[in-house]
Amino acid sequence: MAKTNADIEHWDVESEEFWEREGKRVASRNLWISIPSLLMGFAIWLMWGMITTQMKNLGFPFTVDQLFTLSAIAGLSGATLRIPASFMIKIAGGRNTVFLTTALLMIPALGTGIALMNPETPFIVFQALALLSGIGGGNFACSMSNISAFYPKSKQGYGLGMNAGLGNFGVTTMQILIPLVMTVGIFGAVAGGPMELQSPSGTLIGRIDAGTETWIQNAGFIWLVFLIPLAFAGWFGMNNLKVVTPNPGNPMSAFGKILGLYGVGLVTSVIGVWALGILNMWIALPLTIILTVVLLRLIPGDIQPNIKKQFAIFSNKHTWSMTVLYILTFGSFIGFSAALPLSISVIFGNMMEVGADGTMTRVVNPDAPSALTWAWMGPFVGALIRPVGGWISDKMGGSIVTQIISVIMVVASVATGYVMMLAYNSTDPNSYFALFLILFIIMFAASGIGNGSTFRSIGFIFDQQQKGPVLGWTSAVAAYGAFIAPRVMGQEIQAGTPEVAMYGFAVFYSVCLVVNWWFYLRKNAYIKNP
């Protein structure tokens, strides 16, 4: 009998007989190991939104702009690393890739825990750890590319929706778990002592007053509890598909290829962070993407012809239309997930006070809602509904579902911007908080459904050879939302005009409406996909 983790030579899931006889069982096993591994990737990639909120509450010696920057660096790195990760499966094999990329997450998890033990840790150390946590973001591209090969076209919406949707629960898991584990010294003396909150904080359960002891370092250490068994599960329970990866090489050779690809992404991420210091964001980001693609093309050895073959996706116009539409859905989900905690903290943490002479000044809001109590709700709804989006799209067609949610995103983002403006300039911002949160939840729900519909469309539009790299590439570009949203929202909130960011997003969503209709829904569309 073959080993559970053996390389698989014959794989023909479009044959119903093969699928029922053995394909479904193997696909399910790989999917259910992939999902928690991807969940950990999301948690570690986006943990900076919650960690920086608590760093602010503990009085770490950094500005609000610096704290937003840490979330943005993790976002930039995670997005950039998705570009090389798009090509890993075809070069190194699914089992090899998922095992190593999951194991690599232990580095930022452990490092962040150690750095948070001391408020005097230099800012550059936190920048480096935020950069490395981007590995978790990169893992999405190789994970989706891998799972897409295990499922037939008729079940792409289900397979990819489950992997991505439940994997996205890493955001919610992190936003619930981090505040809770910070309240208890669960790792004892090994993890160091607590610090005292200088500002009120909170958990899912409720508010925590200033002066309470907090173990912020647990926000990093907690992930090791899950990562160690998951790495073993990936190694002993997953498979390389020879039809997708004809020559993965021995494991050490495959690991070398994976590390080389991620090495390129980390170098260009550092260059991207540096470029952002001297260039406009809208110039620096495309340059980072182009540089990453060029350097991948120049990698020597047997990786080069494989990457060259996969670069054929860039001559297909549907690669570019689906990239735009995936920014609409996943870019919004991941961007708002990264930006929402600190946005709540800054917009509702202060309020306007009218002086005796009628002048308005911003002062601390003593009854502000805690971001750590509320921020998990939006990503939770977005992730929960994502498999539903895939299932509906398998029935109705991906593009018609994408069109409907695009309209919702346009209206909701304009409304959210208006409410943010009212709250920011109010003497009682708390009165706007419920409406603010509901509108954000609507946008998360729409983007979650849209994630499922765009995945289904990619599985429908592209063939077996192209759909994996296209999934990886589109998810890479869309993941820059995790950088753009915190950066744009942070800048506009600092400028006192939070609504401008949301109105800008609404304009982009309107463009997506037109792109989706033109390519897939009009009378003479290139591919009819309703």
The set of residues, in sequence order, having a beta carbon less than 8 Å from that of 70 and lying 6+ positions away, is 48, 51, 52, 126, 127, 130
Above 60 in pLDDT, residue 353?
yes
CA distance 432 to 428: 8
Lookup: tokens for 503: 């109105």
Determine what percent of the chain is predicted with pLDDT higher than 70: 98
Q: What pLDDT does 7 receive? A: 87
Separation of alpha carbons 292 and 275, rounded Å: 14
In whole angstroms, give the CA distance from residue 82 to residue 142: 8
Rg (CA), the chain: 22
CB 43 within 8 A of CB 108: no
Look at residue 87 in the predicted model and tell me its pLDDT: 83
Give yes or no for residue 1 having a pLDDT over 50: no
pLDDT band (50, 70, 90) for residue 2: low
Compute the average pLDDT of residues 248-271.
93
Give the pLDDT of residue 302. 66
pLDDT in tens, 290-321: 999 889 888 877 677 777 777 788 888 889 99
User: What is the mean pLDDT of the segment spanning 55-68?
Assistant: 86
Greater confidence, 188 or 165?
Answer: 188
User: Measuring CA to CA, which residue among 317, 290, 315, 259 is closest to residue 138?
Assistant: 259
CB atoms inside a 10 Å sphere around CB 331 = 28
What pLDDT does 459 receive? 76
Segment 458-508, tens digit of pLDDT: 878 887 677 777 877 888 888 888 788 878 887 888 788 888 999 999 999
Categorize the per-residue pLDDT at 8 as very low, low, confident or very high, splitting at 50, 70 and 90.
Answer: confident
SS3 track for 61-76:
CCCHHHHHHHHHHHHH
> Residue 200: its pLDDT value, please?
81
Tokens of 439: 């509108």
DSSP assignment of 500-520:
HHHHHHHHHHHHHHHHHIIII
User: CB burial class (10 A; 0-12, 13-18, 19+) of residue 234?
Assistant: buried
Strand partners, 350: 364
For residue 213, the surrounding DSSP H or E stretch is: strand 213-214
The crossing angle, in degrees rounded to 10, of helices 24-46 and 332-348 is 30
Q: Output 125 or 316, whichever has higher pLDDT.
A: 125
Find the mean pLDDT for residues 354-370: 83
- Which residue from 88, 86, 46 is spatially nearest to 70, judged by alpha carbons? 46
| Amino acid 219: pLDDT | 95
- Give the Cα separation of 148 and 163 in Å (integer): 10
Nearest Cα to 503, choosing from 426, 418, 429? 418
Q: How confident is the model at residue 412 (pLDDT cuts 50, 70, 90)?
A: very high
Residue 334 has a pLDDT of 82
pTM: 0.85
> Strand 207-208 to strand 213-214: parallel, antiparallel, or no bridges (unpaired)?
unpaired
Nearest to 92 by CA among 423, 357, 468: 468
What rounded mean pLDDT belongs to the chain?
88
Domains and CATH numbers, the chain: 10-249 (1.20.1250.20), 312-529 (1.20.1250.20)
- Read off the pLDDT of residues 212-228 as tens digits, 9 standing for 90 and up: 899 999 999 999 999 99
Structural contact between residues 501 and 487, judged by C-beta atoms closer than 8 angstroms:
no
Which residues lie below 8 Å from residue 78, measured CB to CB, with a gap of 6+?
45, 133, 134, 135, 136, 137, 138, 479, 482
pLDDT at 408 over 90: yes
